Structure 1
């Protein structure tokens, strides 16, 4: 081996050793300053509520202050892009969900890639989509509702919390799976959708338990079915939509992701803090009271969920021509 080749080999070996040592050294001192959690939606929404619910427990576990910053805009993609471009040091992380963290790039061009630019940390919660209808709709089951919609021959409306939202995608998915035609009407969030449901402007909507709580509390809206393949304690006693529309499934996840360059051991520290927070009885009860299942995961499990969602929703978005 020539001296030049030998020096090159030694340089490569030294670089590899340095890379191997850098990550543990970072983790040993991590965290040594406050951590920012970016919520890509306005304060007070369902994503923001869940992030703030686990904030104190994570702060206690990590021994550092955690600051939540709301960065709404462009369906969640503005705040998500901010994290994608942040340093991979574990001090800026994303509290994401199905939309901007999995499928929004299927509807519009985004400056980031959900799989390439992020390193999943853990889920925090899972909540099924629920089919809700006003009491004046004459259907007691999903089967009866499908028959009612078919008889109306395209004259009925289904609302959503916004164009391109999971409730919108689930509506189009239901149209295909059930062989019906409901006209989609988007609203700017759960509040306006609830007003439309209570006022009779729409005859159905797919909602999360968080968004549906106001409707159910009014006594003027009821649930027909849940979007899990099996009955769930999140909405006790409610039958699955799949019982009458075979194979139908739709759920939303909430969780945390870091910029792609974040070291694995830092991700592991964050994952452990999330797992500990989500396991706390008071947090589990708070989530359950909102029809949300507190559920942590491994980074690999969250990545698998994101890939599965991209596969599920890509043809729905394409066939329904959903754009944002």
Structure 2
């Protein structure tokens, strides 16, 4: 009979001991991410250089994560619409952004955006760096970088490039070159890369800053030439092309691409995504695809990407202010 109070007490204790177990079971272990498809948002239309680079990573990312990676193009407002969509997505790692310089470092300097990159997005890693390249028609009198600069000083050579959606391009061209070199190149906007490249190859333009993805076919076809590349020193992707920074100290115009996630993603999710990006960029087929298009594959730590964005913002703010640049 003396056992009854003890047994009754034990019966009351059991639920208290067992109670926390269901709550613990609901916590997702670090290795459970991802358990469903991951959405990779590209803030530009299909077919462009950003889209091509992002899609090259799609299958390697899926292989590493062991879940499908679904690409979604969310274009508009200079990349702001897609960027804002990711910034406002649940911070669970299932919606990530293929980010670049334009909407993350330049656009916020020109107009108010519905997101704040530093506050609303978390850097995962860079993916690639794409230098802007100075191009001239094949029969141009500017046979090399030195003669181009001399002609520009003497004649005010016209430099033309896309503006609007691809925000990094005009700033990395004549505005910046004018600022650091004292030249007075004129900016004449084009509505897209294709008509501009056609005009350049046809000799209607004196010079342009182009991407390797746009220019390579015409260089190979002997229709345009590259007097210089927009890097401080010679680039491994075009080692025979002089760096503009060699003759114009301080000049550098390189577009970065990277992966970002909504701020607040758990540490283990961010780490898993970083490992996936490093794996994907390191794949031989991805390396070849990037290098064939004059794009340098390069990953980074999240902190390095954060620092890059801050440094770019300082650089382009000066260019925008001194150039009096405004969006149409």
Task: State the TM-score, normalizing by the size of structure 2.
Answer: 0.88
Residue from 71, 75, 91 that aligns with 1:68: 71
Structure 2: runs of 5 or more not aligned: 1-23
C-alpha separation in 2, matches of 1:305 and 1:41: 21
| 2:111 matched residue in structure 1 | 108
- Paired with 2:240 and 2:207, the residues of 1 have a C-alpha distance of 20
- Larger Rg belongs to: 2
What are the equivalent positions in structure 2 for 1:152-171 lying under 5 Å apart? 152=155, 154=156, 156-163=157-164, 165-171=167-173
Cα shift readout 1:141-176 (whole Å, capped 9, x = no counterpart): 222112111211x4x321112246222001210011
Q: Could you list the runs of 5+ residues in structure 1 that have no partner in the other structure?
A: 1-20
Q: How far 1:22 sits from its partner (Å)?
A: 11
Q: 1:26 to 1:71 in 2, by over 3 A?
A: farther
- Could you tell me how far 1:288 is from its partner in structure 2? 0.8
Among candidates 287, 292, 295, match of residue 289 of structure 1? 292
- Mapped partners of 1:214, 1:128: distance in 2: 17
The one-character-per-residue Cα deviations of 1:35-80 (angstroms, maximum 9, x if unpaired) are 1000000101111111110110110100100000001111111111
Cα offset, 1:23, TM superposition: 12
Distance 1:72 1:239, change over 3 A: same
User: The residue matched to 1:255 in structure 2 has which SS?
Assistant: strand
Mean alpha-carbon deviation: is it higher for 270-279 or for 212-221? 212-221
Q: Measure, in 1, the Cα distance between the counterparts of 2:150 and 2:296.
A: 31
Separation of aligned partners in 1, 2:144 and 2:199: 22
What aligned pairs does 1:175-186 form with structure 2 within 5 A after superposition? 175-186=178-189
Residue in 2 aligned with 1:318? Answer: 321
Does residue 236 of structure 2 align to residue 233 of structure 1?
A: yes
Q: Distance in 2 between matches of 1:196 and 1:46?
A: 20
The Cα of 1:281 is off from its aligned counterpart by: 1.3
Q: Is the 8 A contact 1:23 1:263 kept in 2?
A: no
Aligned pair partner of 1:53 in 53, 56, 72: 56
* Structure 1 position 29 matched with structure 2 position 32: yes
- 8 Å CA contact retained: 1:157, 1:201: no
TM-fit CA distance, 1:136: 3.1
Q: d(CA) in 2 for partners of 1:99 and 1:23? A: 40
Tell me whether 1:267 sits opposite 2:270 in the alignment. yes
Partner of 2:196: 193
Which stretch of structure 1 is more off in the superposition, 58-67 or 138-147?
Answer: 138-147
- 2:132 corresponds in structure 1 to 129
Aligned to 1:13: none
How many residues matched?
302
- Secondary structure of the 2:204 match is coil
Helix, strand or coil: the match of 2:119?
coil
